[in-house]
Chains A and B, each alone.
Chain A
């Protein structure tokens, strides 16, 4: 007996529609999320909102200190993590022999990339805040964040470096260049757009992260702007957490508005990454 092709085709059609439906559903959830945020938060958005400090009174509250904190924190985090992340990736791709020790190191990096962010928070709390006595400052925050995004930066940079064709290296070596000259003069410039793309995406993770900063003691009520890296601070996600965990509906509205600002910042960063990728990236894996 032949199985009816018709019945099998019907099952197939149902399956295709199911897969399509689930995919559409995921897109729909994203739309729903954005729609909900706009409905909750949009009417709180104003220039004053960007320009006021947090307050007990919802109508007077703003995200000035959080915006500046986020800016400070990203800047410092970038300064720490960018060179070190690239350097690690360069060593792994250009110098490291293919042996057990280095596959262990690479495995360790992948595992670190998946370590819960809250564990980084405890690390920062014990090492930077307490042991080095950096207190609840931007130093502590940015160093913790640097450790958090380092594995992602290394992994992305490694891929960008690996995409640089060997012919380029051989050509440079054939001109009598030393390894460091090949790397600094040829490999790094060729891989830089790819590295930058990965770096911006890692940074956007740092901008959205809040758990480790709460651990090290970033506050959700900061009524001043940090003047130096040793000042206490708050950032947008922590401010959002502070407002969202209050029972008051109006503070939920403020949280929604702050989320819209945060998402706008992240969107701009991602746009930057896409532009770098499209305009400058020559080599891709």
Chain B
């Protein structure tokens, strides 16, 4: 009797113990999932906050300055009287940097990718790739320093008219900075081209040059396009090199030898001064940042989509 009772108690006890463990497990599982989810939501909160913030601070600005004057005005003088708020000088400054950087980075990036992929031995490739990646890992402020203290003086020897701060020198270092990214994305694109395609081309008597220019590059054009777009986006957002080397004089010009100002450099300039929060000078920062954000986000989105769909199609 006593024994049976004891057995029953043990049974119930172990039952309870098992329920307890299940419940605990369930709570831990749920809590764990919740924690991970909350962590992930931070990325969404970041994007949302950025958008809300930029728009909120920009709205009062556009109540005073018509959008048309902002977008198509060729005078940018928000800090000195008489104030004018045409953003085109900052845009032209940025575009000069972008154009120069891409002119340098895209052809050489494609040629480096070609060399690594089609011509270099695998040993050489394994040696060169990490060295090139060092170039991508160097902080941008270092490139700014390099532009200011090396590239500009060298350019001055060749082009005596060049100003101490100029778009050309900044564009060159931004190009060097972006080069590894373009090269490595193009390299990925070339690697995704099946070897059977190359063999097919060689089998009809093509030379490497013909195979690359006529088969490999066209076959990977959407990914190369993505590399270019992402490179442009990086160049637009680049800050320190252009702040140090390109100058702080917004000018509606396309002369790369002159001092200019980019959108990013303007934002830095304002933040370095003692601009009181709330005034229209302070708001210009957010307006320019909104434009910057809109442009880069559209480009990043396009670039990522291109890569994404290309990968899906195979």
A interface residues, Cβ below 8 angstroms from B: 8-9, 11-12, 15-16, 18-20, 22-23, 25-27, 29-30, 32-33, 36-37, 40, 83-85, 87-88, 90-92, 95, 105, 107-112, 114-119, 121-123, 125-127, 130, 147, 150-151, 154, 178-180, 183-184, 201, 204-205, 207-211, 214-215, 217, 237, 240-241, 244-245, 252, 255-256, 259, 262-263, 266, 270
Q: How far is the CA of A262 from the CA of B183 in the complex (A)?
A: 25
Supply 13 further A-B pairs (C-beta < 8 A) apart from A22-B111, A211-B243. A19-B114, A22-B107, A25-B108, A27-B128, A32-B150, A116-B236, A116-B239, A147-B42, A151-B43, A208-B137, A211-B268, A214-B268, A259-B142
Task: Please name all residues of chain A whose beta carbon is closer than 8 Å to the beta carbon of B54 when the two chains form the complex.
Answer: 119, 122
State whether B207 touches A8 (Cβ < 8 A): yes
Q: Distance (Å) between the CB of B13 and the closest chain A CB? A: 21
Query: Can you list 7 A-B contacts (CB < 8 A)?
Result: A90-B36, A114-B234, A122-B285, A130-B277, A147-B42, A147-B46, A266-B139
Q: Is the interface of A mostly helix, strand, loop or mixed?
A: helix
User: Top 6 closest A-B pairs, CB basis?
Assistant: A116-B237, A208-B139, A87-B39, A91-B36, A19-B115, A211-B239
Q: Distance (Å) between the CB of B298 and the closest chain A CB? A: 10
Q: How far is the CA of A226 from the CA of B237 in the complex (A)?
A: 31
Task: Please name all residues of chain A whose beta carbon is closer than 8 Å to the beta carbon of B142 when the two chains form the complex.
Answer: 33, 37, 208, 240, 259, 262-263
Task: Please name all residues of chain B whose beta carbon is closer than 8 Å to the beta carbon of A121 when the two chains form the complex.
Answer: 267, 271
In the complex, which of the residues B53, B236, B268 contacts A127, with contact meaning CB atoms closer than 8 Å? B53
In the complex, which of the residues A36, A90, A108, A126 contacts B47, with contact meaning CB atoms closer than 8 Å? A108
State whether A18 touches B297 (Cβ < 8 A): no
- CB contacts under 8 Å to A, within B17-37, are 25, 28-29, 32-33, 35-37
Q: Is B249 an interface residue (CB 8 A)?
A: no
Q: Is the interface of B mostly helix, strand, loop or mixed?
A: helix
Point out which of A12, A111, A116 has the most chain B C-beta atoms below 10 A from its C-beta: A116
Task: Please name all residues of chain A whose beta carbon is closer than 8 Å to the beta carbon of B158 when the two chains form the complex.
Answer: none
| Per-residue contact bits, chain B 117-156, to A (CB 8 Å; 1 contact, 0 not) | 0011000000010011011011111101110111000000
Q: How far is the CA of A122 from the CA of B37 in the complex (A)?
A: 26
In the complex, which of the residues A11, A20, A118 contacts B264, with contact meaning CB atoms closer than 8 Å? A118
Given contacts A244-B141, A255-B145, contact A15 B292 (CB under 8 A): no
Q: Is B7 an interface residue (CB 8 A)?
A: no
Q: Is B230 an interface residue (CB 8 A)?
A: yes
Task: Please name all residues of chain B whose beta carbon is closer than 8 Å to the beta carbon of A183 when the two chains form the complex.
Answer: 32
Q: Is B253 an interface residue (CB 8 A)?
A: no
State whether A237 touches B141 (Cβ < 8 A): yes
State whether B111 touches A40 (Cβ < 8 A): no
Q: A125 — nearest CB in chain B belongs to which residue?
A: B271
Given contacts A12-B209, A26-B179, A130-B277, contact A95 B271 (CB under 8 A): no
Point out which of A29, A33, A127 has the most chain B C-beta atoms below 10 A from its C-beta: A33
Task: Please name all residues of chain A whose beta carbon is closer than 8 Å to the beta carbon of B49 when the two chains form the complex.
Answer: 123, 127
Q: Is B176 an interface residue (CB 8 A)?
A: yes
> What's the A-B contact tally at a CB cutoff of 8 Å?
243
Q: How far is the CA of A111 from the CA of B301 in the complex (A)?
A: 6
Point out which of B49, B119, B137, B277 has the most chain A C-beta atoms below 10 A from its C-beta: B137
State whether A215 touches B268 (Cβ < 8 A): yes
Task: Please name all residues of chain B whose beta carbon is closer than 8 Å to the beta carbon of A26 when the two chains form the complex.
Answer: 108, 112, 132, 135, 176, 179-180, 183
Q: How far is the CA of A266 from the CA of B134 in the complex (A)?
A: 10
State whether B42 touches A150 (Cβ < 8 A): yes
State whether B210 touches A88 (Cβ < 8 A): no
Given contacts A23-B111, A91-B40, contact A29 B135 (CB under 8 A): yes
Q: How far is the CA of A151 from the CA of B47 in the complex (A)?
A: 11
Point out which of A30, A244, A266 has the most chain B C-beta atoms below 10 A from its C-beta: A244
Interface size of B in residues (CB-CB distance below 8 Å): 84
State whether B145 touches A256 (Cβ < 8 A): yes
Q: How far is the CA of A16 from the CA of B209 in the complex (A)?
A: 8
Q: How far is the CA of A209 from the CA of B183 in the complex (A)?
A: 22
State whether B239 touches A117 (Cβ < 8 A): yes
Q: How far is the CA of A169 from the CA of B25 in the complex (A)?
A: 18
Q: Is B75 an interface residue (CB 8 A)?
A: no
Given contacts A29-B176, A36-B149, A95-B33, contact A19 B137 (CB under 8 A): no
In the complex, which of the residues B35, B40, B271 contacts A92, with contact meaning CB atoms closer than 8 Å? B40
Point out which of B268, B271, B300 has the most chain A C-beta atoms below 10 A from its C-beta: B271
In the complex, which of the residues B46, B135, B301 contacts A107, with contact meaning CB atoms closer than 8 Å? B301
Q: B130 — nearest CB in chain A belongs to which residue?
A: A274
Point out which of A19, A29, A217 has the most chain B C-beta atoms below 10 A from its C-beta: A19
State whether A115 touches B131 (Cβ < 8 A): no
Task: Please name all residues of chain A whose beta carbon is closer than 8 Å to the beta carbon of B268 when the two chains form the complex.
Answer: 118, 211, 214-215
State whether A112 touches B46 (Cβ < 8 A): yes
Q: Distance (Å) between the CB of B90 and the closest chain A CB? A: 13
Q: How far is the CA of A179 from the CA of B36 in the complex (A)?
A: 13
State whether B240 touches A88 (Cβ < 8 A): no
| Per-residue contact bits, chain B 99-120, to A (CB 8 Å; 1 contact, 0 not) | 0000000011001101110011
Q: Is B162 an interface residue (CB 8 A)?
A: no
Q: How far is the CA of A151 from the CA of B112 in the complex (A)?
A: 28
